[in-house]
Structure 1
Amino acid sequence: MNLKCILPVSLAILALTACKTEQPATSRLASAETLMKEVQLKATVQQAQKYEQLPSASGIELVDSTYYVVGDDSPFLYQLDAQFNLTERHVLFDTAAFASGRIPKPLKPDLESMAHFTYGRDHMLLLLGSGSSEMRNRAFVVNLTEGMAVKELDFSRLYLFMRRVLRIEAEGELNLEGFAMDDTYTYIMQRAIGSGTNVLFRFNSSNFKDFVINDGDIPVAAVYHFALPQVEGYTAGLSGAYALNDRLFFTASVENTPNAVEDGEVLGSLVGMIDLNALPYASDAANPMQVPAVQLKNPDGSVYKGKAESLVVQAGEGGVYNLIVVSDDDQGGSELLQIQLEVEQ
């Protein structure tokens, strides 16, 4: 397959898709954006639980009553029961570099996100590397139905496509941290670095599964840019995603770092949501869409200073959602948060 041929065609189709299939009536778009701006959020940590044997949690997914957690410097997929007890861990790849309890930064695949999907009768988990270096272009498919069978994938050509769409030249500027799938679409999020914007890639899920399972063509993408709040002068960067009922919920964190590889001081974390029916058809880096997001607060009202990495969302009643969030302290520790998110509009 000739990647040079695929990229121009995919980009052309992307442009047509953004201009043709995504375009609602102007008044409808304006109304949707207004509604988004009127959404008010409040997020309070209800419970927090630390895990000493689960380093650097970066992604979480719920399948039936089991939670699966991945760490960005660990070779294992961790399994929690409905009460969040750590019950098992499953090997994803060679564990030799894990001798110290964390894979060294230059060697780790930096698995930053995970999503569940079905293919035929099989239930799958797909874990994505961040794409911030050649070592981090790896992905792993875990077949839950077939005894946790693991297959490693090379996502280099998809990540090259995404870099070209974003006009990224330097290694380390692609930093894919949010990932979610539903029956219709697949969502992958680029975390903002420095003065850059947060970006959402949206793919058709059927085409994306064909790419993953059958090494098919790079799927066509629609691309959207978003503006998140600043904390102490630093822009919040997307870190996790979960699709539920036409809404894409996300985690974001604020970190003082110049690139996608080095860690920096964590200034706080946020949760927010995107109304998927309000995606703009002309969103670009110069005109990012404002989306509602709010800082995580502790029960006493103080700011939660951990680094929220990923989430699972369950709908409650009266505009209340129950969120399960994993966070990473960049020192090898992990925390699981039970959060109440109140939505008013």
Structure 2
Amino acid sequence: MLIQPAISLLREQLLSDFPSGSALAFTEGRLYLTGDDARELRILDTRYRTAGSVTLFSHPQYRIPKPEKADLESAVVMKHKQAVYLAAFGSASLDTRRQIVLVPLPLRTSDHPVIYSRYADDFLEHLGQHLHDVNIEGATMFKTRLIFANRGHEDNPHNTLIYARPDCWNAMEQDIPFIQSLKLPDNSRGFCGVSDLCYISARDILLLTFTTEATTSTYDDGIIGDSYLGIVREFSKKSRQETLTVDEMINLPAVSPVFAGQKIEGICLEKVRSEGLLLHLVADNDAGDSRLFTINAVL
């Protein structure tokens, strides 16, 4: 029997001291938050209280200016060489945004971790040969692969998923990424650009966030419209299809008016419960702060 999706808002909180929230990852009771022009990685507990931070970039300004920022738009927890890292990926929409930042986990309040920077130039050069615009906005782990979400815009209205090895900066010639087109159902209004991914292995569900934004490039911001939660069921069976069709799109402002005008940029799973999926979302409204949401999703 097909479950009728139901979303309920459990918590909402403004972070006025952290700019431009763009990605969330969760592990071991902690949320890891990046911002596309933020200087630090913020560590939070599940009630959104600050539990620590890590300086990623040394810059005199609170918000790194747009031409200079690394534009970290996606983050995952991943294993690499027998260690666990928080990996944050730049959008790669400009040369200054090709950086990948690796932060070793777990972090304790007394830690001063060594931050590793990587550049996946060969991987990105290959993508540039197959995509009109490279603009990586989301990421998730799927079994042994890393999936990136590449966002389109009004002049290039094509969203794609990119399947790659997790350490894509070490990609060899034979490691050709698989590129999959995304098709959205008809109930989304206007062009919706994908903004993040979250694969839930216990349910074999891929969740995607989408936003409408009036922009015709990968660089300029535009008027923020609605945000959506997309659902792909039985994802494992569909992961090698040339085109992936999103089964359902849930308009988040229709769930609660607090989502109106909020550009949802990141999503992560905290827990699979009998009453639903406990999820966290982060929004960037382009005004210099971030807003966090806890939702329960019966899918």
Q: CA RMSD in A?
A: 2.4
Provide the residue aligned with 2:227 in structure 1.
Answer: 269
Answer yes or no: is 1:190 the counterpart of 2:154. no
Taking a change above 3 Å as real, the CA distance of residues 156 and 231 of structure 1, as seen in their structure-2 partners, is farther
Contact 1:43 1:297 in 2 (8 A): no
How many residues align? The count is: 289
- Of 318, 322, 331 in structure 1, the residue corresponding to residue 287 of structure 2 is 331
Aligned-residue sequence identity (percent) comes to 22
Answer yes or no: is 1:163 the counterpart of 2:128. yes
Alignment of 1:237-248 (within 5 A): 237-245=193-201, 246-248=204-206
Provide the residue aligned with 2:247 in structure 1.
Answer: 291
Provide the residue aligned with 2:272 in structure 1.
Answer: 315
Taking a change above 3 Å as real, the CA distance of residues 145 and 87 of structure 1, as seen in their structure-2 partners, is closer
Taking a change above 3 Å as real, the CA distance of residues 264 and 192 of structure 1, as seen in their structure-2 partners, is same
Q: Give ranges in structure 2 of 5+ residues lacking alignment.
A: none
CA deviations over 1:145-187 (Å, ceiling 9, x no partner)? 5853211112232222112122x2xxxx321111011442211
Contact 2:268 2:279 in 1 (8 A): yes
Alignment of 1:159-238 (within 5 A): 159-166=124-131, 168=132, 173-194=133-154, 195-203=156-164, 207-209=165-167, 211-212=168-169, 215-217=170-172, 219-229=175-185, 233-238=189-194
Q: Give ranges in structure 1 of 5+ residues lacking alignment.
A: 1-34
Larger radius of gyration: 1
> Structure 1 length normalisation: TM-score?
0.77
Contact 1:229 1:236 in 2 (8 A): no
In 1: Cα distance, 2:263 partner to 2:172 partner: 35
Taking a change above 3 Å as real, the CA distance of residues 231 and 262 of structure 1, as seen in their structure-2 partners, is farther
In 1: Cα distance, 2:200 partner to 2:84 partner: 18
In 1: Cα distance, 2:171 partner to 2:160 partner: 24
Provide the residue aligned with 2:87 in structure 1.
Answer: 126
In 2: Cα distance, 1:293 partner to 1:299 partner: 12
Contact 1:234 1:256 in 2 (8 A): no
Taking a change above 3 Å as real, the CA distance of residues 156 and 247 of structure 1, as seen in their structure-2 partners, is same
In 1: Cα distance, 2:217 partner to 2:246 partner: 23
- Classify the secondary structure of the residue corresponding to 2:236: helix
In 2: Cα distance, 1:70 partner to 1:201 partner: 21
- Of 87, 95, 116 in structure 1, the residue corresponding to residue 51 of structure 2 is 87
Taking a change above 3 Å as real, the CA distance of residues 236 and 152 of structure 1, as seen in their structure-2 partners, is same
CA shift for structure 1 position 282: 4.8
> Structure 2 length normalisation: TM-score?
0.88
Taking a change above 3 Å as real, the CA distance of residues 299 and 274 of structure 1, as seen in their structure-2 partners, is closer
Contact 1:45 1:296 in 2 (8 A): no
Divergent runs of 4+, >6 A:
none
- The one-letter code matched in structure 2 to 1:258 is T
Answer yes or no: is 1:255 the counterpart of 2:255. no
Answer yes or no: is 1:115 the counterpart of 2:76. yes
- Of 262, 266, 282 in structure 2, the residue corresponding to residue 306 of structure 1 is 262
